Amino acid sequence: MSISWAMMLQERDPTRAERELLDTIERGGRTPAGRTAVQLHLSQLLPSNRPGSRLKIASRLFAPLEISHNLQVFLLSNGDIFVLGRDMPENQVDNIVHRVRSLFDNDPLTFDDFDDGIDPFVTWYAYEVDFSELEMVVRNLLEAAEILRKQRLGTPAPPEPLSPSDLDQLRDKVLALNIRPMLRRQPCIRLRPRQSAEIMFEEITVGITEVRDSIAPGKDIFADRWLFQDFSRTLDAALLAVLPQAPVLARPAAISLNLNLESIDSREFRGLLNVLKPGQKVIAEVQVIDIFTNLAAYQSTRDLLRHNGHGILIDGLSPAMLGAMDMSLLDPDFVKILWAADLAAPQHPRKGEGLADLVSGLGAERVILSRCESEQAMSWGLANGMTAFQGRYMDAILGTVTMQQCPSSSQCILRDCIIRRTSVMGRRRSECPNMPWLDQVQVLSAPSRRRTQ
With a cut of 90, say whether residue 262 has pLDDT above it.
no
* Out of 37-51, 259-273, 313-327, least confident range: 313-327
Contact 187, 248 (CB under 8 A): no
How many residues in total does the chain contain?
453
Q: Supply the pLDDT for residue 39.
A: 96
Which of residues 435 and 335 earns the better pLDDT score?
335
- SS3 assignment, position 277: coil
pLDDT band at 8 (very low <50, low <70, confident <90, very high): very low
Backbone angles phi, psi at 66, to 5 degrees: -60, -35
Contact 169, 231 (CB under 8 A): no
Nearest to 37, CA basis, from 126, 129, 142, 100: 126
Q: For residue 287, give Cα distances in angstroms to 7, 261, 314, 318, 368.
A: 17, 10, 6, 12, 14
With a cut of 90, say whether residue 201 has pLDDT above it.
yes
Sequence letter at residue 182: M
Q: What mean pLDDT is predicted for residues 270-292?
A: 89
Q: What is the spatial distance between Cα 189 and Cα 168, in angstroms, rounded to a whole number?
A: 40
pLDDT band at 112 (very low <50, low <70, confident <90, very high): low
Q: Supply the pLDDT for residue 448.
A: 47
* Out of 168-172, 298-302, 310-314, least confident range: 168-172
Sequence letter at residue 299: Q
Which of residues 351 and 302 earns the better pLDDT score?
302
Q: What is the spatial distance between Cα 263 and Cα 277, in angstroms, rounded to a whole number?
A: 21
With a cut of 70, say whether residue 375 has pLDDT above it.
yes
Q: Supply the pLDDT for residue 114.
A: 56
DSSP 8-state code for residue 374: S
Q: What is the spatial distance between Cα 419 and Cα 426, in angstroms, rounded to a whole number?
A: 12
Q: Please, what sign has the CA dihedral across residues 200, 202, 208, 210?
A: positive
Identify any residues that bridge with 281 across adjacent strands, giving them in sequence order.
254
Strand residues in 150-195 grouped as ranges (E):
160-161, 183-192
Q: Residue 13: which residues within 8 A CB-CB, separation 6 or more? A: 149
Start-to-end CA distance of the chain, whole Å, equals 40
Q: Supply the pLDDT for residue 32.
A: 93
With a cut of 80, say whether residue 70 has pLDDT above it.
yes
- SS3 assignment, position 161: strand
Q: Supply the pLDDT for residue 452.
A: 40
Q: What is the spatial distance between Cα 403 and Cα 407, in angstroms, rounded to a whole number?
A: 8
Q: Residue 195: which residues within 8 A CB-CB, separation 6 or more? A: 445, 446, 448
Q: What mean pLDDT is predicted for residues 18-47?
A: 92
Q: What is the pLDDT of residues 85-99, one digit of tens each?
A: 999 999 999 999 999
> What does pLDDT average to over the chain?
84
pLDDT band at 307 (very low <50, low <70, confident <90, very high): very high
What percent of the chain is predicted at pLDDT more than 90? 38
pLDDT band at 12 (very low <50, low <70, confident <90, very high): low
Residue 104 CB-density burial (10 A; 0-12 exposed, 13-18 middle, 19+ buried):
buried
Domains and CATH numbers, the chain: 5-152 (3.30.70), 164-395 (3.20.20.450)
Nearest to 124, CA basis, from 94, 86, 92, 87: 94
DSSP 8-state code for residue 122: E
- State the angle between helix axes of 164-176 and 225-242 in degrees (0 to 180), rounded to the nearest 10: 10
Q: What is the spatial distance between Cα 169 and Cα 215, in angstroms, rounded to a whole number?
A: 10
Q: What is the pTM of this model?
A: 0.67
Cβ atoms within 10 Å of 41's Cβ, excluding its own: 16
As a dihedral over the C-alpha atoms of residue 359, residue 336, residue 284, residue 441, rounded to 10 degrees, the angle is: -100
* Out of 209-213, 232-236, 287-291, 431-435, least confident range: 287-291
Sequence letter at residue 234: T
Instruction: Report strand pairing: 311-317 vs 334-338.
Output: parallel
Quick one: which H or E segment has residue 369? strand 367-370
Contact 425, 437 (CB under 8 A): no
Q: What is the spatial distance between Cα 38 and Cα 96, in angstroms, rounded to a whole number?
A: 12
- State the angle between helix axes of 392-405 and 375-383 in degrees (0 to 180), rounded to the nearest 10: 110
Strand residues in 7-147 grouped as ranges (E):
35-40, 72-75, 81-86, 122-126
Q: What mean pLDDT is predicted for residues 188-195?
A: 85
- SS3 assignment, position 259: coil
